[in-house]
Amino acid sequence: MDEELSYAEMLEIPVETVTVSRKEKRRKTQESDNDLKEKVVEKVNDRMQDAYDPLYAESTPIEREEKPVSAKNKGAKRLLFAEFAAVCALCAAIFLTNIFVPSSAINTFVRSLFHGNGETATDTRTYHDFTLSPIVNDFEEVELAVSDTGVLSFTAACSVYAPCEGSLVSVNGDSGSGYTVEIKHSDSFSTIISGLDNVYYTVGQTVKSNVPLAYTDGEGAVRVMFYSDGGLINSYTVAENTLAWA
């Protein structure tokens, strides 16, 4: 504008008569910018409305189809439940038999599992390490006899006791012919008693010397034999129903 006024003064033209006109470049620029924005917006809107354009697809929740439980899965669950019930029943059976039938086969098997397959402790005691107890009650009038080979025998209706504490390893015979029992006191020392009418213990149980082992009705002879390493022991004495090693 200053340049145009200077030019007017040079030509001696009154300033008031000078009309200054400017090109509206800025307005056109703004209009062109506005047109460009409108075109861009319109183009974007067109794309947004295009449902097949993957770049502007609408986000919709994914619907997952719930698969019905197959018969195979139901069968597996039933089998698992049946196995669990069987384990519970087995545990209950072991518990009950352990209380009422401690010497049963299943308890023996379970004990062997818990004890493992390792070597068991050895009992190296000899018969000299044991103190003999009376075979019959002191209040019973029973005549005991000992043979030269070391077999002790008597005939009377009375209770029969073990001479030493030990484990009952076998019971043979029946009520008609009489029972024969074997008591293991150590790895080398054992006792065999025959001619019994009733036996109060079962195989595997611990026998006490102060608790009756069996009963005899007095109709047949009862025989007691002591063994050391498989050989019959005859080195003991009997005095008034009391036994002692010689």
**The predicted structure's pLDDT at residue 230:** 92
pLDDT at 107 over 70: no
C-alpha distances in angstroms, 49 versus 44, 54, 62, 151? 9, 11, 21, 115
pLDDT at 112 over 60: yes
pLDDT in tens, 195-230: 999 999 999 999 999 999 999 999 999 999 999 999
Alpha helices in 24-104 (DSSP H): 25-49, 71-100
Q: How many CB atoms lie within 10 A of CB 136?
A: 19
pLDDT-derived band at 56, boundaries 50, 70, 90: very low
pLDDT in tens, 159-203: 999 999 999 999 999 988 899 999 999 999 999 999 999 999 999
**Residue 44 identity:** V
Q: What is the dihedral of CA 141, 147, 152, 155, to 10 degrees?
A: -50
**The predicted structure's pLDDT at residue 137:** 86
pLDDT above 70 covers a percentage of the chain that reads 65
pLDDT-derived band at 23, boundaries 50, 70, 90: low
Task: Decide: residue 156, CB within 10 A, 0-12 exposed, 13-18 middle, 19+ buried.
Answer: middle
Q: What is the dihedral of CA 138, 140, 141, 144, to 10 degrees?
A: -70
